[in-house]
Amino acid sequence: MYDTLVVNGETVTEAGPIKANVAIKDGRVAGLLEHGDKPEAAQVIDAQGKLVFPGIIDAHVHLRTAHSLNADTMESGSTAGAFGGVTTFICFVAPVRAKGAGAESAIYPELETDGVDVEAFFNNVIEEGNRISVIDFGLHCTIFPNPDVVRQVEILTGMGITSFKLMMAYGRRGWVSSDEALSLAMKAIAGRNGLAMVHAENDGLIRYLEDHYKAQGSYDAENFLNSRPNWAEAEAVYRAVCLARVLDCPLYVVHLSTKEGLEKIVEARASGQRVWTETCPQYLLLSNADTIRLRGLVKIAPPLRTVEDNQALWQGLRQGLIGIVSTDHAAFHRDKQKLAARSFAEVPFGAPGIETLLPLLYSEGVVKGRISLTQMVNLLATNPARQFGLYPQKGTIQVGADADIVIFDPQAEWEITSDGLHSAAGYSAFEGWRVKGKPVLSLLRGAILLKDGKLHKFPGYGRYLPRRPFSAQ
């Protein structure tokens, strides 16, 4: 007898939709059965008229850990994700300690990167996640300039942390790595079968332009956009690609936002280089006009771009040039942090998004014919699992995989409102948007996670997921 049988739904696998019942035993998928085949099960879930997806993976989130000041903790961020059909997230964490108040803003503490006990640091983060996360999680490591990077990479890959973000921006905070430091890190990452990730923006150009506009006394939302032009991203993407080519390091460009940046990645991939990228709903659906309209609420880096960039990224998704859609969820509280800043320069970077990832991509992507249903499942589930060493445990509905299942009502129509969301940010950049489609029930490792608009699992149910070396995928 099976533990659970999900019947009568249209099951969307990585290969395409099929008419299949999903049988679950001991927390894993035990079989894909024909609709007429309904063996005995302790629990039967009728998905008539619904779509059945693998659990969504948000591969790019920032939550409050250690010295970060994000509004969302692993508890509130994972709760928001669960309501949106996300069953796994991967969180960026930097092994640092605070030194005191930062020069740029009290929002950002000054950080010390040298001499940190990396193993103890990440064990503490893992323990916290196991204690308070509602859903399963993995970790990325953000590496700030650090002469001890080789040892850090060795330790962390042994702990199942196999992806490392390198910063090419935020020099005023001391986060940016020189080309020499990038090279050192890439060589270490490649040597341990890891994946190098880059935040690709030309820091020197941005700092020059920021100072230019501040000197004119007009550093507002509009000049924030002017200080981070498209070519600041494209140049950094190309430079990262060149370094990775020389060092034979696999490369992943986070939160791609521009047509020009995509062109550099396409060129590299055409030459056979191991380069991948992601984009986010905000870069698909919002534009620079929304930065002016919403001001500090959507102060993010890279910034929102043009409608032409939106269209280029959608085309990249359709053509398989962009493999993943994630959120870059980095929640700061609307009133206490975003709107409390004394000037636009002091508004913290980031915006929430984990809860609206699936509904937005279905409503604006699938319903409007920009991508297929199968493409959406691959972008949100299968590809992240493959890219980050979780497949086939996660990201797929096949025998042996974790029974992470989302039952999705494609006919549900609803409005995104801050009151209806669960992030501690207290707002959404998509406030007032009408969307079609909503998760109505989800399972995590075979157990009901969400049903009838209520969580059925609570903090501590989520589990840390050590990931395989990149080359083993």
pLDDT score at 115 = 76
* Residue that has been written with the tokens 């936002």 in this structure: 257
Cα within 13 Å of Cα(376), Cβ side = 25
Same structural domain for residues 31 and 120? no
Say if residue 164 is in the same domain as residue 176: yes
Residues 6+ apart with CB under 8 A from 311: none
In angstroms, the Cα distances linking 410 to 53, 265, 359, 394 are 12, 34, 9, 23
The closest alpha carbon to 401, from 25, 2, 10, 19, belongs to 25
Asked whether residue 184 falls in the same domain as residue 35, the answer is no
Q: Is 314 helix (H, G, I), strand (E, B) or coil?
A: helix
What's the pLDDT score for residue 101?
A: 47
The token pair that represents 440 in the structure block: 């109505």
Count up the domains in the chain and report the number. 2
Residue 467 lies in a domain: no
Other Cβ atoms within 10 Å of 151 Cβ, number: 12
* Pair 221, 359 in one domain: yes
Q: Which of 161, 128, 130, 125 is closest to 143 using CA atoms?
A: 161
Residue indicated by tokens 């042996």? 400
**Do 62 and 41 belong together in one domain?**
no
User: Given this model, what pLDDT does residue 112 score?
Assistant: 72
The pair of three-digit structure tokens given for residue 439, joined into one six-digit string: 């998760």
At residue 282, what is the residue type? Q
Residue 59 CB contacts under 8 Å (≥ 6 apart), including other chains: 89, 90, 278, 324, 326, 384, 387, 388
| Neighbouring-strand partners of residue 16 | 13
321/387 same-domain check: yes
Bridge pairing between strands 163-167 and 136-143: parallel
461 within some domain: no
Whether residue 304 lies inside any domain: the answer is: yes
- Long-range contacts for 237-241 (Cβ within 8 Å, ≥24 apart)? 237/198, 237/200, 237/261, 237/264, 237/265, 238/264, 239/168, 239/179, 239/200, 239/202, 240/166, 240/168, 240/182, 240/198, 240/200, 241/265, 241/268, 241/273, 241/275
State which residues of the chain have pLDDT below 70: 98-111, 472-473
Q: Is 189 helix (H, G, I), strand (E, B) or coil?
A: helix
- Does residue 185 fall inside a structural domain? yes
CA distance 471 to 473: 6
> Which CATH number goes with the domain that contains 195?
3.20.20.140
Stated as kind and residue range, the H or E segment containing 188 is: helix 179-191
Q: So what's the pLDDT on residue 172?
A: 87
CATH code where residue 20 lies: 2.30.40.10
pLDDT digits (tens, 9 = 90+) for 78-104: 999 999 999 999 999 999 876 654 434
What pTM was computed for the model? 0.96
Partner residues linked to 100 by β-bridges: 110
78 with 187, same domain: the answer is: yes
Residues 28 and 135 in one domain: no
* Consecutive H or E run containing 32: strand 28-33
Q: Rounded to whole angstroms, how far apart are CA atoms 461 and 442?
A: 14
Q: Do 144 and 94 have their domain in common?
A: yes
Q: Give the domain range for residue 281.
A: 55-396
pLDDT computed for residue 470 by the predictor: 87
Q: Which amino acid is at 226?
A: N
Residue among 257, 304, 259 at smallest CA distance from 429? 304
